[in-house]
Chain A
Amino acid sequence: MTMLRPDLAIIADHVAPGSHVLDVGCGDGTLLAALRDERGCDARGMEIDAANVAHCVGLGLSVIQGDADRDLAIYPDGAFDYAILSQTLQTTHRPDLVLDHLLRIGRKAFVSFPNFAHWGVRLSLLWNGRMPVTRLLPVAWYETPNIHHLTIADFRAHLASRGITVEQSWFLSGDKLCSAAAANFRAEHAVFLLSRAAG
């Protein structure tokens, strides 16, 4: 496996080989290329940044320049086996609607995001009273693309209220997995595999 970011590696390892995948916010196409080359997937992407799209096209990937908030409506229902949203949810204007689209377009959805309730973030707020600038959240409040910070507890509550099923979840502290129990305190990152509840 290529050197994938830990959350991407988890996703890549759990996508069924040969499946149809849409990666929303695919960036430079690292995950798409891994899915195509190592899992034999028909992998497509959506990306907001033109230079990233150009880079992806150069890798032979199929990527549409678009905005997750605006352009997911162009994909038909059930068009993909998986829709992936890695490290993008917290940058959208309406994360709830984006999530609805993901589960409309894909039979299943992978969603990963940085956990704003990680102890490092809590400490930073508690001691400094300032918006945290950490390894995973390296940008100051006024220029961060992360406009909808959330915690693992927030996400779980939202899924419950929408009747969305958690098929599997992974919690990362650095590169290491940590347990679900204390995840909201200990995990820097969360990865969820979701599906619409039957019926």
Chain B
Amino acid sequence: MTHESPAPNSQPTMNRSAPVTASTVLELEQPLPLDCGQALVGARIAYETYGTLNGDRSNAVLICHATTGDQHVASPHPITGKPGWWDRTVGPGLPIDTDRFYVVCPNVLGSCMGTSGPSSPAPDGQPYAMRFPVITIRDMVRAHMALLDALGVEKLHSVVGGSMGGMQALSLAAHWPTRVERVLAIAATGEMPAQNIAFQEVGRQAVMADPNWQEGAYYGTGKSPDAGLAVARMAAHITYLSEATLSEKFGRRLQDRESKSFGFDADFQVESYLRYQGSAFTERFDANSYLYITRAMSYFDLADECGGQLADAFKASKARFCLVSFDTDWLYPTAESRKLAHALNAAGAPVSFVELSAPFGHDSFLLDVPELDRVIAGFLSK
């Protein structure tokens, strides 16, 4: 059953004013089984759709969002009012053409934009907080599949995702091989590299070191671990950019001052920028969601899930694959996509792989890279 929300995020237990989303919310009637062995009862999935499902239900494109993304792929964010995170790519006449495709973008499990996560009420009416089960990328995809079932989409025309969205796309292809015809994974990986696990651990420790975190039970206390979450975001944000971007955008320039303060203000523009990014993030994201989602990413290892060989993960797939990496992305470097390309080749799957040149680091997949537009449009059009 689906119903129009603003309901999902209006738990009175949330600390600040509830974000209002116009997304649709599906409440699952069956418990959602999870990799940890538990099942989530009464799970909700918030999602947006664009375009129209055609008569033979063959034009559905699932878009999977990245770590702190949401279902507002091409519609304004309800809290920040900013345009959808991929509105340069998804829309009428754009590379993912909503005149042609029925685009579905769900908020991932564990998040805080309407889909069940640690800030959602547990069956006892109180927020789950750390009682929310630890989830995996495959659990997120399992929720997506339940949504597609409800929408009457048996087989996807394509699944598309960047970063963590790419991991979901690959997980879908590996574990639900009959349900997708094209898989486009951008700046992704088949297994979380140690360096990324390390950065995410720094982020989680920053949140948990904040006394306002209160072992996760901060909902309704009037205090939330904003300082810790902001530090986590600042560290993560650096990993999304490239050294060249930082140098070009900020260099060593000072922020609103003629000389160094000989203090610990944000003297440098880059410091000011990061502080702003960190603080703005806390306005729109739940700290516990950040813990759960990054945990899911660090557990991601497709080879391990499929018997040890990455190639075996794609044995049953009949889909066509396209992998894209960026030359300045040091978080999910080209080597990760190349490993996937090797595995898909060994599995005999039709695969394309391209490393595009773009200056923006990992964030390139969200920004103006005309060649990426061509690859997306071309891959989906055939």
Closest to B341 in A: A64
Determine if B381 is an interface residue (Cβ-Cβ < 8 Å): yes
Determine if A10 is an interface residue (Cβ-Cβ < 8 Å): no
Shortest distance from the beta carbon of B232 to any chain A beta carbon, whole Å: 34
Given the known inter-chain contacts A50-B357, A74-B345, A75-B345, please indicate yes or no for A59 contacting B352, CB distance below 8 A. no
List the A side residues contacting B322 at CB < 8 Å.
57
Q: Is the CB of A54 within 8 A of B342?
A: no
Given the known inter-chain contacts A57-B322, A57-B352, please indicate yes or no for A64 contacting B371, CB distance below 8 A. no
List the A side residues contacting B371 at CB < 8 Å.
50-51, 54
Q: Is the CB of A58 within 8 A of B352?
A: no
Q: How far is the CA of A62 from the CA of B375 in the complex (A)?
A: 12
Q: Is the CB of B350 within 8 A of A58?
A: no
Q: How far is the CA of A66 from the CA of B338 in the complex (A)?
A: 9
List the B side residues contacting A66 at CB < 8 Å.
353
List the B side residues contacting A63 at CB < 8 Å.
352-354
Closest to B184 in A: A57
Q: Is the CB of B320 within 8 A of A62?
A: yes
Q: How far is the CA of A189 from the CA of B365 in the complex (A)?
A: 43
Determine if A61 is an interface residue (Cβ-Cβ < 8 Å): yes
Shortest distance from the beta carbon of B170 to any chain A beta carbon, whole Å: 16
Determine if B33 is an interface residue (Cβ-Cβ < 8 Å): no
Q: Is the CB of A53 within 8 A of B382?
A: no
- Contact string against B for A residues 38-69, beta-carbon threshold 8 Å, 1 for contact and 0 otherwise: 00001010000011011111111111111000
Q: Is the CB of B352 within 8 A of A64?
A: yes
Q: Is the CB of B341 within 8 A of A57?
A: no
Q: Is the CB of B377 within 8 A of A62?
A: no
Q: Please tell me the size bucket of the interface on A.
A: 20 to 34
Shortest distance from the beta carbon of B69 to any chain A beta carbon, whole Å: 24
Q: Is the CB of B375 within 8 A of A58?
A: yes
Closest to B379 in A: A57
Q: Is the CB of B354 within 8 A of A58?
A: no
Determine if A174 is an interface residue (Cβ-Cβ < 8 Å): no
Q: Is the CB of B378 within 8 A of A54?
A: yes
Determine if B79 is an interface residue (Cβ-Cβ < 8 Å): no
List the A side residues contacting B346 at CB < 8 Å.
74, 76
Q: Please tell me the size bucket of the interface on B.
A: 20 to 34
Q: Is the CB of B382 within 8 A of A50?
A: no
Max chain B CB contacts within 10 Å: which of A44, A64, A71, A74?
A: A64
Given the known inter-chain contacts A50-B371, A54-B374, A76-B346, please indicate yes or no for A59 contacting B354, CB distance below 8 A. no
List the A side residues contacting B381 at CB < 8 Å.
58, 60
Given the known inter-chain contacts A54-B371, A64-B352, A64-B353, please indicate yes or no for A59 contacting B341, CB distance below 8 A. no
Shortest distance from the beta carbon of B374 to any chain A beta carbon, whole Å: 5
List the A side residues contacting B320 at CB < 8 Å.
62
Given the known inter-chain contacts A54-B375, A57-B379, A59-B382, please indicate yes or no for A74 contacting B352, CB distance below 8 A. no
- Contact string against B for A residues 95-136, beta-carbon threshold 8 Å, 1 for contact and 0 otherwise: 000000000000000000000000000000000000000000
Which among B341, B356, B378, B379 is the interface contact of A50 at CB below 8 angstroms? B356
Shortest distance from the beta carbon of B357 to any chain A beta carbon, whole Å: 7
Closest to B378 in A: A58
Which among A50, A51, A59, A62 is the interface contact of B351 at CB below 8 angstroms? A62
Q: Is the CB of A54 within 8 A of B382?
A: no
- Contact string against A for B residues 322-356, beta-carbon threshold 8 Å, 1 for contact and 0 otherwise: 10000000000000001001100110101111111
Closest to B355 in A: A65
Shortest distance from the beta carbon of A74 to any chain B beta carbon, whole Å: 4
Q: How far is the CA of A58 from the CA of B379 in the complex (A)?
A: 6
List the B side residues contacting A76 at CB < 8 Å.
345-346
Q: Is the CB of A57 within 8 A of B350?
A: no
Shortest distance from the beta carbon of A181 to any chain B beta carbon, whole Å: 41
List the A side residues contacting B342 at CB < 8 Å.
74
Shortest distance from the beta carbon of B377 to any chain A beta carbon, whole Å: 7
List the B side residues contacting A50 at CB < 8 Å.
354-357, 371
List the A side residues contacting B377 at CB < 8 Å.
58
Shortest distance from the beta carbon of A52 to any chain B beta carbon, whole Å: 9
List the B side residues contacting A60 at CB < 8 Å.
378-379, 381-382
Closest to A61 in B: B352
Shortest distance from the beta carbon of A192 to any chain B beta carbon, whole Å: 25
Q: How far is the CA of A167 from the CA of B202 in the complex (A)?
A: 61
Max chain A CB contacts within 10 Å: which of B322, B352, B353?
A: B352
List the A side residues contacting B375 at CB < 8 Å.
54, 57-58
Q: How far is the CA of A56 from the CA of B322 in the complex (A)?
A: 11
Q: Is the CB of B350 within 8 A of A62?
A: yes
Closest 4 CB pairs of A and B: A58-B378, A60-B382, A62-B350, A53-B354
Question: Told that A57-B352, A74-B346 touch, could you supply 5 new A-B pairs with CB distance under 8 A?
Answer: A53-B352, A57-B322, A57-B375, A64-B345, A64-B352
Give me the interface of B with A, judged by CB distance under 8 Å. Answer: 320, 322, 338, 341-342, 345-346, 348, 350-357, 371, 374-375, 377-379, 381-382
